[in-house]
Amino acid sequence: MVLNPLKQMIKAADRIPTRLNIGIMLFMSCFVSYMLRVNMSVNLLAMVQPIQKMNQPAVKPMFNGTNANDTSATMPMPTAAAVHNYGPRYNWSSHDQSLILGAYFYGYLVTSLPAGVLAERFGPRNLVGSTLAASALLTALTPLAATYGMWTVVVNRAALGICGGVLYPALHNLVSRWAPPDEKGKFVSALMGGTFGTVVTWPLVGVLIETFGWSFAFYVPAVITAIVVAFWLIIVADSPAKHPRIKKEEQDYIIKSLGDTISKQNLLPPVLKMITSLPFLALLVLHFGNLWGLYFLLTAAPKFMSEVLGFKLAKAGFLAALPYLARALAAFGFGSIGDYLRKKSVFSVTTIRKSFCLFSHIIPGLFLVGLIYAGFDPYVCVAIITLSLGFNGASTMTNLQNSQDLAPNFAGTLYGIINFVGTTSGFISPMLVAHFTADRSTMDEWQYVFAIGAAAYIIPALVFVLFGSAVVQKWNEPKQHESKQTTKQVQETY
């Protein structure tokens, strides 16, 4: 009885172009992966004792443009009565919390580097499906891990990061096999599903924590992920040629549009040529700057909203998610504009990539500079952060797509390398925030963090404008490998 509705759903999905179904599953896989990645940023606030001492009086922080005598700027310190009962609370220091938040990214580093090669050799479908299933299980076990201590949670989060590190390099490999050149912007925009995951997760877990306790803020995302994994395994195939239900016309269109940029053989990546390529190094720097801004706000925004701007957990989660909603919506807009410009050949692809850096990196950096001078107006601060990350949605036309330009055969490997380096910002930025806010958390301390974030956006953009490229590199099709294949074929013929 269960199979009949399932078969009907599959038949209904098959009426839609197959590559659209692939795009939807790209979106959903990123969506649930980010649910499991970012929930800890809010959950941790309910799991630990407040870092401020209980016997301290109210503090009137001095901010740029703010009168210290203005009682509206007073930030009362928590009292015992103000500490809500959302479940067990643990006496983890600010340093401990930074280790927990950063642990995911330590694990992420382990697999992000080889993930592209694994996807290119063995196919991305099963790789993504199995790691998402493992991620759901690890998330469901987090409350149990917390009972054994901080280090058990760190190990759990690191293992979750090991699973998560596989995702994006594998998905970039999938995009290189499924996306016609004129549709790459839309496909890469689907990878912004992670941004929507943040938008949904932070308000959702805020409500779950205040309603049922923080343990449910782990269980519910785990269940949602398990459901998405089931659909992923039904709908997705490694390539149009391997999809069991794709229509012949659509299959031929995709294969013809890709031309000879995608090899039919499993090639070994020319690593030395990659890491000595100036356009690739420029992409690496650009991607690092993008991930610094993204991960900094990912791990620190709820803390900033709650401790500095004074919002309650549910509202802090909602407001902290607004910038990600803006980023996701802008990503689809910028992606569509970029695809149109490419299709009409208005500019060269290289010109498109470099010019969009203005929106993806430089303007977001300038907004972070503006945040330093915004004063203590919480809603102005939220608006500036929202605009900063919103414009960063243009990264779908810059660093998130450039690996597809340089080497379609090795798009997953390239993305794995730049993600490996860029992910270091995921554990450096929480340590930076912990360093500046160890004694107190006010705008005076956070302005240094925002200044560093602005530099991390703007300087890489200037490097890419000088040295970046969108031209397919010669090492996309290694000559040596081709000659070996030709020799082997000749020998087999005779």
d(CA 413, CA 266): 12
Contact 410, 476 (CB under 8 A): yes
315-335 burial code (b ≥16 CB/10 A, e <16): ebbbbbbbbbbbbbbbbbebb
d(CA 142, CA 153): 7
pLDDT of residue 487: 35
- Higher-confidence residue of 83 and 269: namely 269
Evaluate if residue 29 carries a pLDDT over 80.
yes
d(CA 53, CA 78): 8
Q: What is the mean pLDDT of residues 240-258?
A: 88
Q: What is the pLDDT of residues 113-165, one digit of tens each?
A: 888 888 888 889 999 999 999 999 999 999 999 999 999 999 999 999 999 99
Closest of 425, 420, 424 to residue 111, by C-alpha: 420
Amino acid at 198: T
d(CA 408, CA 411): 5
Q: Largest alpha-carbon pair distance within the chain? A: 92
How far is the CA of 341 from the CAs of 9, 83, 395, in angstroms? 36, 54, 16
Q: What is the pLDDT of residues 440-482, one digit of tens each?
A: 766 777 778 888 889 999 999 999 999 999 998 988 876 544 4
Q: Name, in order, each residue with C-beta under 8 angstroms of 7's C-beta and a sequence gap of 6 or more.
A: none
In the numeric block, which tokens belong to residue 324?
């990600």
Q: What is the pLDDT of residues 349-369, one digit of tens each?
A: 999 999 999 999 999 999 988
In the numeric block, which tokens belong to residue 428?
């450096």
pLDDT of residue 153: 96
Tokens 């605009």 sit on residue? 387
- Higher-confidence residue of 124 and 5: namely 124
How far is the CA of 50 from the CAs of 46, 79, 396, 480, in angstroms? 9, 9, 38, 60
Contact 236, 125 (CB under 8 A): yes
Evaluate if residue 52 carries a pLDDT over 60.
no
Residue 48, φ and ψ in degrees, nearest 5: -115, 160
Evaluate if residue 405 carries a pLDDT over 80.
yes
Name the pLDDT band for 63 (thresholds 50, 70, 90): very low
Contact 282, 467 (CB under 8 A): yes
Contact 63, 187 (CB under 8 A): no
Q: Is 151 left (phi over 0), alpha (psi -120 to 50) or beta?
A: alpha
d(CA 257, CA 308): 52
pLDDT of residue 12: 66
Helix (H, G, I), strand (E, B) or coil at 18: helix
pLDDT of residue 41: 84
Which domains are seen in the chain, by residue range?
A: 12-50+86-259 (1.20.1250.20), 266-493 (1.20.1250.20)
Contact 153, 145 (CB under 8 A): yes
In the numeric block, which tokens belong to residue 342?
């490419």
